Every structure is written in C-alpha cells, then in structure tokens.
Structure 1
Amino acid sequence: MERKSDGFDNQKVIVIPNDILKILASDKLTRLLYITDIGFYPHAAGHYRSRKDGSNQNILIYCKDGEGWYMVNGKRCTVGRNQFFVISAGTPHIYAASDTNPWSIFWMHFTGEMADLLNDMYNQTHTIPETSDSRFDARNQMFEEIFINLWRDYNIENLRYSSMVLWHFIGSLAYIPQFRLITHDDSTDVIEKAISFMKSSINKILSLEEIASHVNYSPSHFGLIFSKRTGFTPINYFHNLKIQAACRYLDFSDLKIKEIAQMLGYYDQYHFSKTFTKVMKISPSEYKSRDKG
C-alpha cells in the first residue's frame, strides 16, 4: 500500500501560521499550552509518518475507529478504537495506519510552558473503556470546538478559547474517572457514599468506625482506600467539611460563633475556634470580619 502523510478523503487539517505561533507563544494565557497543528483523518489508508529526530511539539493521536501502530524507543505498539497515545517532543518515532483496517484519528501537535506537566501520559498507549458513562460525544465535541474556532479566525479571543478547551480536552484523557463523574451514580461508589454520609451528619461527631460501618467496610481497610483516593484520612476530611460549612454560616448568616460551633457538633466554642484556625490559618472572628468577593 502506498505510504502517505496526508491527503485523505474528507480530512480536516489546520497548520497554524508562524506569525500566529509567535502570538500563542507570547500571550500570558496561551503560552502555557497551545496547538500548532490539528486535524482529523478518516479511514486513513496508507497513513505513515517517520521522524528520526522527533517533532518540536508533542503529538497526540486519538484513534476513533480502525487500527494503527506507533513505535517509540524501539518498541512497536498497536492502537485500536478508543485508544490514544502522546509522543513527547524530541522523541524519534514512527506511526502508521493498519493496512487492513486503517484508523480514523483525531490528531494534534501541541506545546507550551506547562506541557511538561503531562509527562506521565507520554510515549505509552492509553485505553478509554466503552461504558455507559464514557462521554465520547462530549470529548469529540471539544475537539470540534478547538478546530472550528481556529478555522474561523486567529483573533486573540479564539486563540485563548481554543487553548482553554485544549486543557479540558487533554484533562478528559488524563483524568478519565473525573471526566465521567458527571454521569456517575454516587450511591454505588464507596467513597462518595461515605462523603455523602459525612455531609448529612455534619452536625454530629463521627468516628472512623461509624463511617466505615455505614459503607460496610472494616475501619482499617476503609481508611486506606479513602486516604488513597482523597489524600486525607476520613476524620480529617470530615473536619474539613465541617469547616466548609462553618465558612458558609460565617459568610451568609448572622449566627454567632458559639451558635455555629453548636450546630456543627463541637464540644464548645474554644474547640471549634481552634480547629477552624488550624484549617483556615485565621480565626472565625477574623474570617467573619474579612472583606469577601
């Protein structure tokens, strides 16, 4: 089969002009992360790219359908439907469509001052499982928003908007569980169920045993998985929820500090103030008097 880098029926391609790249690289917002090239190749039979010295930008390829492969660091990897990979800038590589079932791909070259934050994603294959909450259409729509805005005009508003949507698009790939959360049923998730229980018990004093019992876990096992997921112990998380609630009362009510302490289940005002100050680095009375907004 004839090898080619582009030239596919119904393809969509934008290569950002050098003058616009200079704007993207200097603007305070866009210079953090921006696209230099972007496109969609449907049923890209013969698609083949080889760069012995790599690219000046990171390359993201998302396989919407069909199959293909890529090679980095001497390792060849097959890519199929709903899989993607990102080749880091400067990495020698080859990628190509399958001869028998050529891929349809969204692709983009991107760079920016903050691109290194995504290092964990680079030079490996990622799979997006097909489930009821996958949100493939939402991700595809974000790609279209980036493309259409860049296609319409290179004014600074479009460039900035495209850059901001790019963050969201890559975030939807880097943090798949969080991207799916909008369609997630919290009642089936142990951690979310525990947090919901904490919120409904915000006026009580809960122990680790009580929280773990609510989700039918042993305290030790529950404490481990909760800390791994949230970065906090269950009790510390519960105290933070109480302080969040306290801030709302201080901001939007005329309740006295003593009354807020009682409503949130603290032993006394002193205990509440001590906990509040430890978390917020400011006392409740100072917080209440501080200018907001």
Structure 2
Amino acid sequence: MKKKEGFEGQEAIVLPRKVIAGCQEHPLLQSLFITDIGYYPRAKFHYRERRQGSEQHILIYCVDGNGGCVINGQEYDINPFNYLLVPAGATHSYWASERSPWSIYWMHFKGPMGNQLASLLHERMETAQNYVKYNEDQIRIFHNMYRHLQSGYSIDNLSFCSLSLHYFLSSFIYPDKFSLLKQEAGSDPAEDAIEFLRKNIANSLSLQEVAAAVNLSTSHFSSIFRKKTGFSPMEYFNHLKMQKACQLLQFTTLRISEIGQAVGIDDQYYFSRLFHSLMGISPREYRNKKEIRPS
C-alpha cells in the first residue's frame, strides 16, 4: 500500500490559489514564498511520484526513521537529520522506509530567490552535505511559520513567513553559521482577535461579538484589524474556516455538509459557494484532487 498523506498526527496547510497569485504579484513576497507546508510523523507507506515534476521546489527534512528518493534517475538514501531537496520540474519519487518510516517536516516554495536557494541546497545534497544536526531553534522557525499561516493569509503573516523562510533555508545551507536571536513576541487587539477567531472556527460569530471579545467598538476594531491584516475581520474569519475545511476534506471522510457544520456553516450550498470563491474549486473537486489512493 502507498499513501500520499493521511498519517496520524499529521499537519498540513495548502495555500489557496488566489493567495498564491497574490504572492506572485506582491513586491515583498514574489521573490520567495511558501505554497504548502506540513509535518508527517511516522509516515508509514508514504510515497509520492511526480513524473512531470512539481511546480514548486520541495524541501523535506527527516528527523526520525528512514526513506529514499529518486530525482531525475539519481537515487538518494535519506536518514535521520538528512534533508531532501527536489528542484521544481524534476521527475521524482520519494518514499518512507517500510521497516522504519520517516517523520518529516516538509514544504513547497517558489520565487526567483527560491530558485537560487534551491540550487544551493541541491548542490549540497549531491555532495553528501545534506546532514543537518537537529536544532530546536531551527524547528521553532518552522513551527512559527506554520502557526502564522494557520492564523490566516494577511500580508503581515505572509511577509513574516517569507522573510523567515530565507532564514530557515539558510540554516540548511550554512548549518555551522546558523544562530537565532530570541525575540519577545508582543500582543495587540488584532492578534488577540485572531486567536479568538481560531478558537471559534466551529461557531458563527458576528462582528460585534468579535469586537466585544477584545473590548473595542466595532468601528475602531474593524479599522485596526484591516490595517493590521489587510482584510476585514469577517473576511479573515472565512479564510480560517476554509483553511480548516481543506484539512478536513483532505484528512477525514466527513461528508461535505458535516465539514460545513464543523466550521460553523450549516447551509451546505453557502459553504460550497464560499469555498469555491476562496479556493478556486469546489469542496468535492478539492477532495478528489487530494484523494489518498492505496495501490
């Protein structure tokens, strides 16, 4: 049996097409940005093959277990603390060991700067310099990028992840030079509101309820939230809901109506219209595209 995904404890985010298109046009983001990101623990039977290659570069960092890959006919063994870089457009396949399936952090990324960094990463891999000792600070950067994307696709979040991605990828290219400056994270009403929205994905909230949760008037709250994120609070809430819906479509067998209810939308037709407007395809098409097919 072979599986593309569907592993217990896995996490994954796939950015909507419209958000990716926006990244390609934004002056700060267009040089390097994430399109997909996730973590697969003990990914038994994991296998992917792309004969036509991927539109993005793919980075996989193995932190436990073993696996292997073939890129343009060249085979590589992947052991704990090895990374794997698959260049965009390269014919490839990769897999987890049956005896000791790998646990991996992974991401897809694009952009002109991404092309340059991917080339450096691939050069190191080809010369067997792809062993990178586990570093909690490095993994913390990954989780921080994931958490910000999980919080929504505001320009601030996307910009932070783009800039963090430069640092994250450089930690694989120059592992001996890698260091991390500790930063203190502050809090503000917009961030507090985003956390409130995340905790209430399964509910239907009004603007007044969200503003009240951070002790602000609706007009003042809407103004500072849009300034912070580039979206109205309700637009942002819908992004979070569709992100959760994508995960449920990809990783569960819940009916589409049940997924709508799980993100606080009881009207299945409204849920489908909203999903299509943000993701560019219907919920059913998204599920079929991401379907796990055992072989």
Q: Distance in 2 between matches of 1:180 and 1:162?
A: 18
- Counterpart residue number, 2:64: 65
Which residue type is aligned with residue 156 of structure 1?
Answer: I
Q: Distance in 1 between matches of 2:171 and 2:120?
A: 14
**Structure 1 unmatched ranges of 5 or more:** 183-293
Residues 55 and 91 in structure 1, CA contact (< 8 A), matched pair in contact too: yes
My pick for the range that moved more, 14-23 or 110-119, is 110-119
1:145 deviates by 0.6
Residues 121 and 172 in structure 2, CA contact (< 8 A), matched pair in contact too: no
Residues 48 and 94 in structure 1, CA contact (< 8 A), matched pair in contact too: yes
- Counterpart residue number, 2:27: 28
Residues 137 and 180 in structure 2, CA contact (< 8 A), matched pair in contact too: no
Q: Kindly, what percent of the aligned residue pairs are identical?
A: 36
**What is the aligned length?**
177
Secondary structure at 1:8 match in 2: coil
1:74 deviates by 1.2
1:120 and 2:120 correspond = yes
- Counterpart residue number, 2:99: 100
- Counterpart residue number, 2:187: none
- Counterpart residue number, 1:242: none
Residues 42 and 104 in structure 1, CA contact (< 8 A), matched pair in contact too: yes
- Counterpart residue number, 1:158: 157
Query: Residues 2-151 of structure 1: matches in 2 within 5 Å?
Result: 2-118=1-117, 119-122=119-122, 124=125, 126-128=129-131, 130=133, 136-151=135-150
Residues 84 and 126 in structure 1, CA contact (< 8 A), matched pair in contact too: no
1:165-217: per-residue Cα shift (whole Å, max 9, x none)? 111100111111211598xxxxxxxxxxxxxxxxxxxxxxxxxxxxxxxxxxx
Q: Distance in 2 between matches of 1:73 and 1:55?
A: 12
Q: Distance in 2 between matches of 1:22 and 1:43?
A: 33
Residues 67 and 96 in structure 2, CA contact (< 8 A), matched pair in contact too: yes
Secondary structure at 1:30 match in 2: coil
Q: CA, structure 1 residues 129+87, in 2 after alignment: closer, same or farther (shift >3 Å)?
A: closer
1:31 deviates by 0.6
Q: Distance in 1 between matches of 2:106 and 2:98?
A: 19
Q: Distance in 2 between matches of 1:171 and 1:74?
A: 27
Q: Distance in 2 between matches of 1:158 and 1:181?
A: 20
Q: CA, structure 1 residues 58+129, in 2 after alignment: closer, same or farther (shift >3 Å)?
A: closer
Q: Distance in 2 between matches of 1:79 and 1:59?
A: 14
1:27-76: per-residue Cα shift (whole Å, max 9, x none)? 11111100000000000000000000100000000001110001012121
**RMSD in angstroms over aligned alpha carbons?**
1.6
Which residue type is aligned with residue 23 of structure 1?
Answer: G
Which residue type is aligned with residue 146 of structure 1?
Answer: M
Q: Distance in 2 between matches of 1:159 and 1:120?
A: 24
Q: TM-score, normalised by structure 2?
A: 0.58
My pick for the range that moved more, 117-126 or 156-165, is 117-126
Which residue type is aligned with residue 113 of structure 2?
Answer: M
Q: Distance in 1 between matches of 2:48 and 2:6?
A: 13
Q: Distance in 1 between matches of 2:132 and 2:92?
A: 26
Q: Distance in 1 between matches of 2:129 and 2:109?
A: 18
Q: Distance in 2 between matches of 1:42 and 1:7?
A: 10
Which residue type is aligned with residue 106 of structure 2?
Answer: W
- Counterpart residue number, 2:273: none
Q: TM-score, normalised by structure 1?
A: 0.58
1:128 deviates by 3.2
- Asked which structure has the greater CA Rg, the reply is 1
Which residue type is aligned with residue 130 of structure 2?
Answer: T
1:121 deviates by 1.6
Secondary structure at 2:55 match in 1: coil
Which residue type is aligned with residue 102 of structure 1?
Answer: P
Which residue type is aligned with residue 76 of structure 1?
Answer: E
1:114 deviates by 1.4
Flag the structure with more relative contact order, 1 or 2, with Cα contacts below 8 A and sequence separation at least 6.
Answer: 2
1:129 deviates by 5.2
Secondary structure at 1:5 match in 2: coil
